[in-house]
Structure 1
Amino acid sequence: MLQRIRRAFLQQFMQHIPRQESQAVAKRTSARPLPYAASPAWYATALAAVALCASVQAQAADAVRVNLAWLPQGSTGGILLAQSKGYYREAGLDVSVMRGYGGQRTVNEVDGGLFEFGYGDPVSVMLNRAHGGHAVMVGAINTRWPGAMCYLERPGFKVNSLKDLSGLTLGGGGASPVQNIMPAWLKQNGLAPDAIKTVRLDPAVINTALLQKRIDLSECWEGASLPVQAALAKRAGQQLGRVFYRDFGLDMMGNGLVTTDTFVAQHPDVVKRFVAATYRGYALMRSHPQEAADAIAAQFPVLDKTILLQQIVETNGLISDDPTDHKTGWLRPARMESTAAFVSRAFGTGAKVKAADLYTNRFVE
């Protein structure tokens, strides 16, 4: 490659020096150094070429593709900021950020080599590995499970315990983990697995179905769809209530940065730089949430900035739920053990995958 660049530069030199001198240069460069009598213009061109050659080498960056798992939003704001603020570029990375179509699909696409990194969750990683995949988490964003059930508040209805939700219908995405999590979680809380009925819906209609009262409860996610549903309810003159799974015994790790065992083994330096630059984006989001919202909205003008800011605020609360001696992104071993145990029960994966297989903290220590 460098040889071709040099030949191209030499051809450019010839266009900037007299014809006779050009012929002399062409004859002599194949046998001995260039003549000291070359013109000042030739030297200027040569120096510029050398500088450009060095610049080309310095600018060579590692190409990386990132899957957001859904549309651009506050939960993935650190990734969006790292790109828009040039943090990835400064880390020697040429990053392409693309929308996704759900956590499980995202993790499988990363495992399949369509993306180097993705925004994924431990449930999807564990299911991927249970079916022979090699996805792995390399950093946490939501250090607690962000899932919740949302409902429209109404007179006389108050949730004091899960029994108050018995007999209601929950609408969730067809491929959402909530379809399996719900029965196991209810059983863990001493209720019948079908105490809350789940129905599979296209994710695009969940919000509307709740507002139209075709379902009693909706799948919602802190830092993502929850602020959207709250805003839509407010516009309709309603108030949104929510019940977090974690408030009733679900001690699970949430979403984070996902890649593969193979990529970690073959490109550890790329992983290290990507993780560091990404958390630099999240650091900006935490210290200056309004600035972060403005920057992301400038990239994606169709986003509602009020909703985006609320997503950012909620994500900031999830990214570090207690003081720790470790860097941002540390995946807590005890919580990963709890996550693996629950997923094994909920999805029937048995002992195929151990908690230690799901993640590595080597890039966030």
Structure 2
Amino acid sequence: MRKPTRRGVLGAALAAPFLAPPSRAQGLTPLRFILDWKAQGPHAWYYLAQSRGYFREAGLDVTIDQGEGSAAAVTRVMSGAYDAGFGDINAVIQNAAQRPGEQPVMVYLVYNRAPYAIIARADGPVRSLKDLEGRQLGAPAGSATARMFPALAARNGVDPAKVRMAAIQPNLVEQMLVQGQVDAIAQFSGTSYMNFVGMGRDPEKDFRWFFYSDMGLDQYSNGVLVSQALLRNRPEAVRGLVAAINRAIRDVAADPDAGIAELKRVEPLTDPAIEKRRMLYMLRAQMTTPETEALGLGDLDDRRLEGAMATVVQTYGLSRTPAASEVFRRDFLPAREARRLPALAG
């Protein structure tokens, strides 16, 4: 059985486009930011950047809303509902190919190693990806993991047309797998791992894990993305946003309890023990890699990005391959030394 402990891991219908409403805070630029998911441990740094005044120091009045999936976050920014967000780079690639000039652009990569996984019950019928054919795979409607499943299937001889996809409410994904209502789920590993712990299950003994990154799909994943309007009209706001988030990530890595305390303040129902473990899981598994050691958090390898784009273009039969600059811009990154994670505490 594959265990997820390798590498030592544990509003309104549509808001007006950027610049439409005046800021309530004198002299600050208003900015709406959407997360990829409900508030969890790996979102603590966004709230910390807000509470410690890092956004304000950058001249920003940031409103943070929870999201409904990594791919959905890209769509919400692209629609003009949000100025920036935390979403999936592969969805950016797809939109850049299909609707060039409208797609958001990633300016700070957070998850250097994609946390995509197919998860099945250890006592269930899915013992290999091929076993998904003729069975039901569940995932939230806005899931980047589900969106990238056809690419995973193609790499592993699976016919995605033979896999029945079920859209599940975000809070019911793991529950439906445990209850046998679906045969497997497509989910972020850190999300499911800790949700299983919270349900009193043993993530390593009770489930089989099929990691995309171990099965021929070496994609990047989530990062900070901004709208074309923000990029064009307020580049200084983009620079300030990136600097504030980078600073807060380093703060939380050095003092995880401070980040979890802020998350608890924002979401009183937060289980601090569970969310701290989830946050450390993501820091160690997805954010600390040989590549981030070399390049610093936030940046990426251009050749690897080209390979990731080729995978998306081939999987979806897209008519064009976008230029790397349409997908990712490193212009706004702080100096490399400022993007090195400190030794993780906790």
Q: TM-score, normalised by structure 2?
A: 0.78
How has the CA–CA distance of structure 1 residues 143 and 192 changed in structure 2, closer, same or farther, with 3 Å as cutoff? same
Instruction: Give me the whole-angstrom Cα distance separating, in 2, the residues matched to 1:65 and 1:193.
Output: 36
How has the CA–CA distance of structure 1 residues 169 and 272 changed in structure 2, closer, same or farther, with 3 Å as cutoff? same
1:16-27 counterparts in 2 under 5 A?
A: none
The equivalent position to 2:46 in structure 1, one of 55, 79, 92, is 79
Pair 1:270 & 2:237 matched: yes
- Helix, strand or coil: the match of 1:302? coil
The aligned counterpart of 1:319 is: 287
The aligned counterpart of 1:347 is: 316
The aligned counterpart of 2:193 is: 226
The aligned counterpart of 1:209 is: 176
Opposite residue 276 of structure 1, the aligned amino acid is: A
Instruction: Give me the whole-angstrom Cα distance separating, in 1, the residues matched to 2:249 and 2:190.
Output: 13
How has the CA–CA distance of structure 1 residues 290 and 153 changed in structure 2, closer, same or farther, with 3 Å as cutoff? farther
Shift in Å, 1:69: 2.6
Pair 1:69 & 2:36 matched: yes
Opposite residue 84 of structure 2, the aligned amino acid is: F
Instruction: Give me the whole-angstrom Cα distance separating, in 2, the residues matched to 1:177 and 1:361.
Output: 23
8 Å contact from structure 1 (residues 173, 203) kept in 2: yes
Instruction: Give me the whole-angstrom Cα distance separating, in 2, the residues matched to 1:233 and 1:338.
Output: 39
Which one has the largest radius of gyration?
A: 1
The aligned counterpart of 1:24 is: none
Comparing 319-328 with 191-200, greater Cα deviation is found at 191-200
The aligned counterpart of 1:90 is: 57
Instruction: Give me the whole-angstrom Cα distance separating, in 2, the residues matched to 1:121 and 1:217.
Output: 22
8 Å contact from structure 1 (residues 211, 233) kept in 2: no
Comparing 138-147 with 171-180, greater Cα deviation is found at 171-180
Comparing 351-360 with 309-318, greater Cα deviation is found at 351-360
8 Å contact from structure 1 (residues 68, 97) kept in 2: yes
Shift in Å, 1:125: 1.3
- Helix, strand or coil: the match of 1:119? strand
8 Å contact from structure 1 (residues 252, 339) kept in 2: yes
- Helix, strand or coil: the match of 1:170? strand
Q: Which has the higher contact order (CA 8 A, sep 6+)?
A: 2
1:1-365 counterparts in 2 under 5 A?
A: 60-129=27-96, 130-132=98-100, 133-154=102-123, 162-163=129-130, 168-193=135-160, 197-234=164-201, 239-317=206-284, 318-322=286-290, 323-364=292-333
Shift in Å, 1:67: 0.7
How has the CA–CA distance of structure 1 residues 172 and 227 changed in structure 2, closer, same or farther, with 3 Å as cutoff? same
Shift in Å, 1:231: 2.3
How has the CA–CA distance of structure 1 residues 241 and 288 changed in structure 2, closer, same or farther, with 3 Å as cutoff? farther
Instruction: Give me the whole-angstrom Cα distance separating, in 1, the residues matched to 2:163 and 2:296.
Output: 39
Residue deviations 1:259-308 (CA, integer Å, cap 9, x gap)? 02332232111111110110111112212223321221122111121221
In the comparison of the two structures, how many residue pairs are matched? 306
For structure 2, which runs of at least 5 residues remain unmatched after alignment?
A: 1-24, 336-346
Opposite residue 209 of structure 1, the aligned amino acid is: M
8 Å contact from structure 2 (residues 55, 62) kept in 1: yes
Shift in Å, 1:349: 1.8
Instruction: Give me the whole-angstrom Cα distance separating, in 2, the residues matched to 1:239 and 1:65.
Output: 40
RMSD: 2.8
Residue deviations 1:124-143 (CA, integer Å, cap 9, x gap)? 21233313423100011101
Instruction: Give me the whole-angstrom Cα distance separating, in 1, the residues matched to 2:191 and 2:258.
Output: 18
Q: TM-score, normalised by structure 1?
A: 0.75
